[in-house]
Amino acid sequence: MRWVAPSIRVRLTGWYSLVLFLMLAVYASATYLAVRHEFFEQLEDQLHDDFESAEGFLVPTADGHIAWATERHHDPDEDEDRGIDVWAADGQPIYRSGASAALPPVALPAATAAPRYESLTAHARQWRTLTGTTLVGGRSVVMRVSRSEDRLRAQVGEILVVLALGLPLVVALAAVGGYLLARRALTPIDHLAKEARRITADRLHERLSILNPNDEIGRLTAVINDTYARLEASFEQLRRFTADASHELRTPLTVIRGIGEVSLKDTRTAAEYQDGIGSMLEEVDRLTNLVDTLLRLSYGDAGTVRLTPEPIDLAALAREVTASLAILAEEQDQRLEVDASEPVEATVDRLVLREALTNVVDNAIKYSPKGSAIHIRVSADGDRAVLAVIDEGPGIAVEHRGRIFDRFFRIDEGRSRDRGGTGLGLAIARWAVEVNGGRISVESAASGGSTFRITLPRSPRKGENV
Partner 1 sequence: MRILVVEDERKIAEVLVSALTTEHYDVVVAPTGEDGFFRANAEAFDLVVLDLMLPGRSGLEILQTLRRRHVETPVLILTARDAIDDRVLGLDLGADDYLVKPFAVPEVLARVRALLRRGRPSEVFRLKVADLELDLVARRANRGDRLLDLTVREFELLEYLLRHQGHLVSREMLARDVWREPRRATPLDNVIDVQMTRLRKKVDAQGSVRLIHTVRGVGFVLREGQP
| CB 25 within 8 Å of CB 170 | no
Length of the chain: 466
Find the part of the chain contacting partner 1 (CB under 8 A) among 101-109, 210-218, 283-291, 431-439.
283-291
Q: How far is the CB of 292 from partner 1 (least distance, A)?
A: 7
Question: Rule CB under 8 A: is residue 393 a binding residue for partner 1?
Answer: no
CA distances from 450 to 332, 378, 413, 453 (A): 18, 16, 19, 10
Looking at residue 199, its amino acid is I
Q: Considering beta carbons, is residue 215 or 412 the nearer one to partner 1?
A: 412
Question: Rule CB under 8 A: is residue 31 a binding residue for partner 1?
Answer: no
Query: Dihedral angle at the C-alpha atoms of 340, 343, 344, 345, nearest 10 degrees?
Result: 150
- Contact pick of 140, 225, 263, 289 for partner 1 (by CB under 8 A): 289
CA distances from 270 to 77, 120, 261, 279 (A): 141, 131, 16, 14
Q: Considering beta carbons, is residue 393 or 425 the nearer one to partner 1?
A: 425
Q: Considering beta carbons, is residue 101 or 291 the nearer one to partner 1?
A: 291
Distance CA(435)–CA(44), nearest Å, equals 88
Helix (H) or strand (E) holding 120: strand 116-122
Question: Rule CB under 8 A: is residue 328 a binding residue for partner 1?
Answer: yes
Find the part of the chain contacting partner 1 (CB under 8 A) among 137-145, 177-185, 292-300, 387-395.
292-300
Looking at residue 283, its amino acid is E
**Between residue 417 and residue 446, which ones bind partner 1 under the rule CB under 8 A?**
419-422, 425
Q: How far is the CB of 222 from partner 1 (least distance, A)?
A: 41
**Between residue 208 and residue 237, which ones bind partner 1 under the rule CB under 8 A?**
none
Q: Is 158 exposed, middle or buried (0-12, 13-18, 19+ CB in 10 A)?
A: exposed
Of the candidates 146, 148, 149, the one whose C-alpha atom is nearest the C-alpha of residue 83 is 146
Bin 420: left if φ > 0, else alpha if -120 < ψ < 50, else beta: left
**How many residues bind to partner 1 according to rule CB under 8 A?**
32
* φ and ψ of 442, to 5 deg: -130, 140
Question: Rule CB under 8 A: is residue 254 a binding residue for partner 1?
Answer: no
Question: Rule CB under 8 A: is residue 334 a binding residue for partner 1?
Answer: no
Question: Rule CB under 8 A: is residue 325 a binding residue for partner 1?
Answer: yes
Q: Considering beta carbons, is residue 189 or 326 the nearer one to partner 1?
A: 326
> Binding string, 349-388, against partner 1, x = CB under 8 A?
--x---x--xx-xx--------------------------
Q: How far is the CB of 450 from partner 1 (least distance, A)?
A: 17
Question: Rule CB under 8 A: is residue 277 a binding residue for partner 1?
Answer: yes
Question: Rule CB under 8 A: is residue 282 a binding residue for partner 1?
Answer: yes
The DSSP call for residue 75 is: -
Distance CA(336)–CA(342), nearest Å, equals 18
Q: How far is the CB of 328 from partner 1 (least distance, A)?
A: 6
Q: How far is the CB of 13 from partner 1 (least distance, A)?
A: 55
Q: How far is the CB of 190 from partner 1 (least distance, A)?
A: 46
| CB 105 within 8 Å of CB 123 | no
**Exposure string for 39-65, b = 16+ CB within 10 A, e = fewer:** bbeebeebbeebbeebbebbeeeeeee
- Contact pick of 18, 33, 59, 295 for partner 1 (by CB under 8 A): 295
Question: Rule CB under 8 A: is residue 164 a binding residue for partner 1?
Answer: no
Q: Which residues bind partner 1 (CB under 8 A)?
A: 274-275, 277-285, 288-289, 292, 295, 299, 324-325, 327-328, 331, 351, 355, 358-359, 361-362, 419-422, 425
